[in-house]
Structure 1
């Protein structure tokens, strides 16, 4: 479903920032029905990897395949559900407006859009608020609206960037349950999160980035065992400290 082959990306110098390398020769793959967690500290390269997958930016070196095609191919966007880290909705629109727009972009029929919209808005607790302007939604409600949009077209591949962002404990538990449901349905999921406990619960494999380089890829428990630690979280912290001290 996803193949990164020795992908590198450097951002050019700008007025307020120096040139810097975001990714260096990164390779990984994601198979159908698998869940992969992408983790690392701020600036590790996670967001850059997701932007490359979504074709928001292009790599300087290496190649990327997604759903058997190039990210440049607009046809594959209809087969992907993308959840950005931060909601950025036109303030005067409702979630129904956004779902209708998404459905049109995915070539869904009107009745299909209506049926799917009700299904996901009810599941995400937004049905009663469907006609309210998005500007009146809380951050957590906006995040759930983003989920409804990402799931509307029943995508083959889900790319989730910080899916728990802005959620209270109840909302976080509900989204964890939803991702577990999707995983059990055989959906292919790539998600990025700073909440390592959630990553440990949900993923089949984890990819750890540090300063643009891959420092681990494998099962969470394998990282804990490699570092001689009792938990995945402890193993991650140990690995990052080890790499930083040896830099």
Structure 2
């Protein structure tokens, strides 16, 4: 009997070591999400993933299904089909949602409560142990440290947005979902949110960010998922979506050796004194090395202008291509 118990304990110990060596489950995983409201297909076969410590941006035009996807991920809307896992557990499990911070696009807090009281209420609802000092720290983090005792009814829209962000962060979540977090904020407030998102990433917290401010998404996101009419139109890292970078150089005195050096970097186009060279997306050291070599080969460098398609341009291109494809399909079916 003793030998049997010892063998079982050894097997359990080996299994524990095996599980401990596995990478953690994604913060968000969903597959085949579908949702219909009456005759309108709001979401059709959406699959996506957010890794631990990763910031993923959700982009698309109005009505693309972004908020519907978020609500299905969080269990606020029941999908017609598909599966959702949060932090390695089924999204329907309240234990999974307890470790998620959420800032919805539209929210209202009781105007007679102070900012401190709003946080205390949400801490109590979450069932987490957050000290008053930690609540004060969160209010200071979002720029409301000196307004902690003021009633919410007297807050501007931007201040209420900051309070909503504090509510999303107060319970120290492992996953934060932000639906238009900067919609009511001024440029300083948007910069504050950007810093907070980057800090969350540095601490290993996953972030799913839905925003119409494409520049903000481009600054903080590791990957982007683009939705159009309820479907994933494109997804990938910024480097994958934006493709190659280009470098424009205004040069004179370009010798044959300098032209060979340019050609060795990538495809070259020339227009007068301007040379445009295509660079690989991951070549971070290529530009200073190229300029130094050209100078050493006798070329005079008058200007250097890095260039790459913006995320906004890429987004518009994807959406226009999808619209043209739909028009062609509809035309051929008539």
**Structures share fold, TM-score greater than 0.5:** yes
The residue aligned with 1:73 is 93
**Match for residue 155 of structure 1?**
173
Aligned to 2:163: 145
Q: Does 1:200 align with 2:221?
A: no
Q: Greater Rg, structure 1 or structure 2?
A: 2
Which structure 2 segments of 5+ residues have no match?
1-26, 247-307, 327-334
Give 3-state SS (helix, strand or coil) of 1:165's partner: coil
Is the CA contact (8 Å cut-off) linking 1:103 and 1:113 kept in structure 2?
Answer: no
User: Residue 179 in 1 paired to residue 205 in 2?
Assistant: no
Q: Which runs of structure 1 show a deviation greater than 3 angstroms over 4 or more consecutive aligned residues?
A: none
The 3-state SS of whatever aligns with 1:198 is: helix
Compare 139-148 and 69-78 and name the one that shifted more: 69-78
Question: Which residue of structure 2 aligns with residue 15 of structure 1?
Answer: none
Note closer, same or farther for the CA distance 1:8–1:213 as it changes in structure 2 (3 Å cut).
same
| 8 Å CA contact 1:82, 1:150 repeated in 2 | yes
Moved more, 201-210 or 63-72: 63-72
The residue aligned with 2:49 is 29
Q: Under a length normalisation based on structure 2, what TM-score does the superposition of the two structures give?
A: 0.69
**2:30 touches 2:73 (CA, 8 Å); kept in 1?**
no
**Aligned CA-pair RMSD:** 1.5
Check conservation: 2:53, 2:200, Cα contact below 8 A.
Answer: no
Residues of 2 paired with 1:170 and 1:241: CA distance?
33
Shift of 1:52: 0.5
Return the TM-score normalized by structure 1.
Answer: 0.92
- Tell me the equivalent position of 1:135: 153
Match of 2:134 among 116, 119, 122: 116
> Contact 1:224/1:234 (CA < 8 Å) preserved in 2?
no
Quote the residue 1:84 is aligned against: 104
Q: CA deviation at 1:37?
A: 0.5
Q: Is the 8 A contact 2:86 2:97 kept in 1?
A: no
1:40 to 2:60 alignment: yes
1:46-71 alpha-carbon deviations (Å, 9 max, x no partner): 00011101211111011111112222
1:52–1:59 Cα contact (<8 Å) kept: yes
Show the counterpart of 1:244. Answer: 323
Alpha-carbon distance in structure 2 between the residues aligned to 1:220 and 1:154: 28
The CA deviation at 1:221 is 2.7
Q: Is the 8 A contact 1:224 1:232 kept in 2?
A: yes
Structure 1 stretches lacking a partner, 5+ long: 13-18
1:116 deviation in Å? 1.5
Residues 15-47 of structure 1, C-alpha deviations (whole Å, 9 max, x = no match): xxxx21111111111111111111100000000
- 1:20 — aligned with what? 40
Worse-matched range after superposition: 119-128 or 209-218: 119-128
In 2, the alpha carbon distance for the partners of 1:74 and 1:208 equals 29
